[in-house]
Amino acid sequence: MPVEFLSDEQAGAYGRLDSGFTRAELERYFFLDDVDWTWVTPKWRDHNKLGFAVQLATVRYGGRFLDDPLDVPTELVEYLAEQLGVADASCVKSYGDREKTPPEHSWEIRQKDQ
């Protein structure tokens, strides 16, 4: 995608979420509703539930999947973990241990959003 019209700073930030979300912004943009819960709860392990929720929330917020689904602010992961009842938000670091899981989840999200 041509980005000549963007400054170096804007081009570097494209496709990433910067930290600094307020609690009100987290609640407004990243709240998991009842439909989201039906997608997330069948996932077996906390790291997969949380990783799926991160992808679901970020694609809705930014309009695209992130190259690295875990390249998100800590406060976002902690907010989603709080909603899901995941006691240790750092478990999300295991989300990509099985390489196919993140792309399979993004495919699932794409299919359900159609």
* 54/58 Cα distance (integer angstroms): 6
Rounded to whole angstroms, how far apart are CA atoms 111 and 105? 10
- pLDDT of 85 reads 96
Per-residue confidence (pLDDT) for residue 1, from 0 to 100: 54
Backbone angles phi, psi at 62, to 5 degrees: -100, -10
d(Cα 63, Cα 60) in Å, to the nearest integer?
5
pLDDT (0 to 100) of residue 30 = 94
Mean pLDDT in runs of 10 for the chain (114 residues)? 54 60 91 94 95 95 90 94 96 96 95 73
Residue 62 confidence (pLDDT): 86
For the chain, the C-alpha Rg in angstroms (whole number) is 14
pTM metric for this prediction = 0.83
